[in-house]
Amino acid sequence: MGFTYHLALLLLLSAVSAQLSGHVGPTSSLESKQSKICNVLDYGGCIGSSDIGPAITSAFTDCVLNNSGSTLYVPAGDYDMKTWVNLSGGTQWAFRLDGLISRAATTGGNMIAIEDADDFEFYSANSAGGIQGFGYQCRNAGPRLIRIVTSTNWSVHDLILVDSPEFHLVIQEGFNGEVYNMAIRGANIGGSDGIDVWGTNHWIHDIEVTNRDECVTVKSPASNIQVERIWCNQSGGSAIGSLSDGTAIEDVLYRYVYTNGGNQALMIKSNLGSGYVRNVVFDHFISRGTAYGLDINQYWASQTPGSGDGVQLSNISFSSWDGNVADGVARPPIQLICADGAPCFDITLTDVYMWSETDQAIVKCESAYGSGVSCIQSGPTHTSYAVVTASVTKPSGYTSPATMSGDLSTGFATDVAIPTPTIPTSFFPGLPQISPLAKNL
């Protein structure tokens, strides 16, 4: 094997070893958080309530904050919610949501925000609880569903999030968080992100997302982020960005990501700006019929340009990809468009077999340095160069991408209610989930 292969392998292994750093998730057991059950039905709530928000707040304020090792409990059943809740503080506590809460007001913000929590778990014991956002009624003019803010040592799992008016789950800063075993159903429209995450040492895994915007996306600032076993099922696809001035992202691993239809398999997107994205690995991707494939675009037209010359991308590795785009001439299966003012370097593609459903394809590169695709340049000097477009033939290692039982053929409509799904037990072809559903424990 040649020097280039060994160098690429060394870069890949060094990047992988620098992802999650130590413990993620709660630091005490779920059982230790059940010494006191704070049932919303004891704090003014009732099944079928027209507004369960005040009961949630009262149960948290009067019970959780006064009892270490407690659980805020919303029993199985249907509830409307008009008053959003901001649950701030608390240590060694859980929020057990076994019921389905439906949005019944158009106030902006977040239906449920958890802020400054430590040793915290938000889950559904029956793996059927969650939030129905009815976003079709107030598109981009209502709340996000859940926001976890500056919290530490926490987990969110076994929840179902449906049709948020805006984003579904936002993880804002904090550290040592874990998100897993979730089904997210959004509409076939922009502004419907599945999971947005930034912060330090967060693990996102075993998630299904349907929408027409980001599936699971890392935003700035972020470090030690691991995303794996993700099913973007008629979704906009995975992303890092949008990035602009002052970007600081490093030590990120995406692996075992399956994308069925949608916008892209993976996009790193920015428009000029400043800062850096470095030490990132995208390993074992399968994609079928996406519009874009492997896509770096640092002149993304949908974003207002930043004030800098470009976000510096370096040590970005792509390995073991098998996928196709809908039309490989209209939108290349591989496109590396880097900022002329900050050429990207050490961009390594190893065993990346991307092709087109039309059986014709091109690749594009601009100011990109590395190896593994014909249009990229190599060498120690990284100066800007104009777009290079090259026609390519089907890669010899390409095979027809695998499928998943439950693949959707189209996204969900924007003008009617989206049905509530169940959480699957596999999120990547041939791989089981990492942790069993709570209802099966």
At 340-375, the pLDDT tens digits run 999 999 999 999 999 999 999 999 999 999 999 999
pLDDT tens by residue, 52-95:
999 999 999 999 999 999 999 999 999 999 999 999 999 999 99
User: Is residue 407 predicted with pLDDT exceeding 50?
Assistant: yes
Task: Indicate whether 43 pLDDT > 70.
Answer: yes
pLDDT for 170 equals: 98
Number of H-type helices and E-type strands within the chain: 2, 26
Q: What pLDDT is stored for residue 140 in this prediction?
A: 87
Integer-rounded Cα radius of gyration of the chain: 22
Q: What are phi and psi of 296, to 5 degrees?
A: -105, 125
**Predicted structure pTM score:** 0.95
Asked if residue 14 has pLDDT above 60, the reply is no
Q: Is the pLDDT of residue 6 over 80?
A: no
Provide the percentage of residues in the chain whose pLDDT is more than 90: 95
| pLDDT tens string 293-326 | 999 999 999 999 999 999 999 999 999 999 999 9
| Alpha carbon separation from 31 to 36, 89, 146 (Å, rounded) | 11, 20, 24
Three-class DSSP category at 35? coil
> What distance lies between CA 187 and its chain's CA centroid?
16
Average pLDDT in the 156-169 region? 98
Whether the bond between 70 and the residue before it is cis, its omega within 30 degrees of 0, is no
pLDDT band of 19, cuts 50, 70, 90: confident
pLDDT over threshold 70, residue 387: yes
Domain extents in the chain:
17-193, 213-410
Whether the per-residue pLDDT at 18 is higher than 80: the answer is: no
Q: What's the pLDDT score for residue 222? A: 98
17-193 and 213-410 agree in CATH topology: yes
User: What are the structure tokens assigned to 5, written together?
Assistant: 């292969």
Average pLDDT over residues 40-47: 98
What was the pLDDT predicted at 297? 98
DSSP state of 350: E
- The arithmetic mean of pLDDT across residues 408-417, rounded, is 96
pLDDT of residue 9: 36
CA distances to 130, 192, 429 from 213, in Å: 21, 6, 22
Q: Classify 440 as helix, strand or coil.
A: helix
Per-residue confidence band for 5, with pLDDT thresholds at 50, 70 and 90 = very low
Whether 341 and 272 have beta carbons less than 8 Å apart is answered as yes
Peptide bond just before 221 cis, omega within 30 deg: yes
| Band of residue 154 on the pLDDT scale cut at 50, 70, 90 | very high
As a whole number, mean pLDDT of residues 251-265 equals 97
Tens digit of each residue's pLDDT (9 = 90 or more) over 100-151: 999 999 999 999 999 999 999 999 999 999 999 999 999 989 999 999 999 9
3-state helix, strand, coil in the chain (%, to 5): 10, 50, 40
C-alpha distance from residue 266 to each of 237, 262, 320, 336 (Å): 6, 11, 14, 12
- Contact between 176 and 432 (Cβ < 8 Å): no
Among 206, 213, 295, 346, which one carries the catalytic annotation?
213
DSSP 259-324: EEEESEEEEEEEBSB-EEEEEEEEEEEEEEEESEEEEEETB-TTS---SSB-PEEEEEEEEEEEEE
Q: Which residues pair with 428 in a beta bridge?
A: 431
What is the mean predicted confidence (pLDDT) over 377-389? 97
Provide the pLDDT for residue 106: 96
CA gap 375, 371 in Å, rounded:
9
Residue 2: is its pLDDT beyond 70?
no
CA distance 284 to 441: 29
Q: Is there a catalytic annotation at residue 213?
A: yes
In this prediction, residue 16 has a pLDDT band, given cuts at 50, 70 and 90, of: very low
Q: Distance between CA atoms of 30 and 70, rounded to whole angstroms?
A: 10
Residue 15 banded pLDDT, cuts 50, 70, 90: very low
Q: Which CATH class is domain 213-410?
A: mainly beta
Q: Check whether 288 has a pLDDT greater than 90.
A: yes
What's the chain's average pLDDT?
95
- CATH, domain range 17-193: 2.160.20.10
User: What is the H or E stretch that residue 4 is in?
Assistant: helix 3-16
pLDDT, tens digit, 9 for 90 and up, residues 193-226:
999 999 999 999 999 999 999 999 999 999 999 9
Whether 164 shows a pLDDT value over 90: the answer reads: yes
> Torsion angle of alpha carbons 245, 249, 253, 258, nearest 10°?
-20
